[in-house]
Structures are given as structure tokens and as C-alpha cells.
């Protein structure tokens, strides 16, 4: 069994994402919906917040939920940054006054 997350098949690199259970995804999204201010996108602080908010069956489940919350916050921040860059790039074009 290969331990690497990516494998080669017919000289093409196939990278598959990590599999997360519905419980992890559902719980993570619900926590972010209810308590967005409690999570910072840093795993250690998110792990502590999950520990405070949820009574999990195991440490492994808590860590998986915290990891997915962290990932969602990072993606959210990247999308917000990309949107701001797009808006900033479009703003000078619209702000130019006509010289006529």
C-alpha cells in the first residue's frame, strides 16, 4: 500500500483529496455557522474552541473537526482576499473621469 497521497497512473499524476466523514463536515460547518468569531484559522486555537464547544467521543474526532474548521477558515480567507484583489483591480478603471 502506498503511503503517499498522490499516485502515478499512466504517467499522469493523480492527487486525491483527503476523505472526511459526514459527521466531521456537518459538525464543522455548523460550528462555523453558529460561532464564526470563535475560530481564527489556526489549528491549535481552533482545537481549543472545538473542545470548549463540543463534547466529542475521542481526541481524534475533535482533531479532525478542528482541522476541517481550520481548512474552511483558510479557504474563506483566500476567497475574501481574491475578491478584494479583483475589486481593487476593477476600481481604477471605473474611477477614471472622461477628459472631454
Q: 3-class SS at 21?
A: coil
Give the model confidence (pLDDT) of 17-49 as tens digits.
Answer: 678 889 999 999 999 999 999 999 999 999 999
Can you list the positions of beta strands (E) in the chain? 6-9, 12-15
Domains, the chain, ranges and CATH? 21-90 (1.10.60.20)
Give me the pLDDT at residue 59, please.
95
What is the rounded CA–CA span in Å between residue 68 and residue 90?
Answer: 33
Amino acid at each position: 500500500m502506498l503511503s503517499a497521497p498522490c499516485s502515478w497512473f499512466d504517467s499522469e499524476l493523480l492527487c486525491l483529496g483527503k476523505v472526511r466523514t459526514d459527521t466531521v463536515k456537518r459538525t464543522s460547518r455548523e460550528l462555523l455557522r453558529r460561532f464564526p468569531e470563535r475560530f481564527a484559522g489556526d489549528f491549535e486555537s481552533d482545537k481549543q474552541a472545538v473542545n470548549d464547544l463540543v463534547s466529542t467521543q475521542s481526541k481524534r474526532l475533535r482533531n479532525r473537526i478542528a482541522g476541517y474548521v481550520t481548512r474552511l477558515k483558510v479557504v474563506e480567507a483566500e476567497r475574501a482576499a481574491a475578491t478584494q484583489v479583483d475589486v481593487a483591480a476593477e476600481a481604477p478603471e471605473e474611477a477614471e473621469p472622461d477628459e472631454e
